[in-house]
Amino acid sequence: MTPDIRALLAAVIEAIDIPSPAAVGDREEYARLLEDRALDAVVALKGVLGEPLAGNCSAHWHTAYLHRQLAKKPPTGYRHYDAPDGGGQA
C-alpha cells in the first residue's frame, strides 16, 4: 500500500469514526454529522477510483480535500462520551 493510499484510508476512518452520542437526544445531530462526513469520504474515495463526477486527481489531493471538509464539520454540537467532561457537549 502506498503512503498516499494509507493517508487517504486514515482520513476516511477519521471521517466516520466520531464519538457516539451520550444520550438519545443527541442521536439526531450525531446522525446528521456522520452522514455529512461519510458523504465527503465517499467523494474522496470515488475520486481516487476515477469516478467521472468526483474528479480524477491524486490520492494526495483527495486526502487534502477530505481533511478540508472534515475541518468544517468537527464532531461538536452534540454531547458525546469523548467530551472533556465525560459527557458534556464537545
What's the rounded Cα separation, in Å, for the pair 45 and 43? 6
Domain edges within the chain: 3-17+29-72
Q: Show the cell assigned to 21.
A: 452520542
pLDDT tens by residue, the chain, 90 residues: 899 999 999 999 999 999 999 999 999 999 999 999 999 999 999 988 887 666 667 899 999 999 999 999 999 999 987 756 555 555
Bridge partners (DSSP) of residue 79 are 89
Q: Pick from 64, 81, 86, 67: which is nearest to 18 by CA?
A: 81
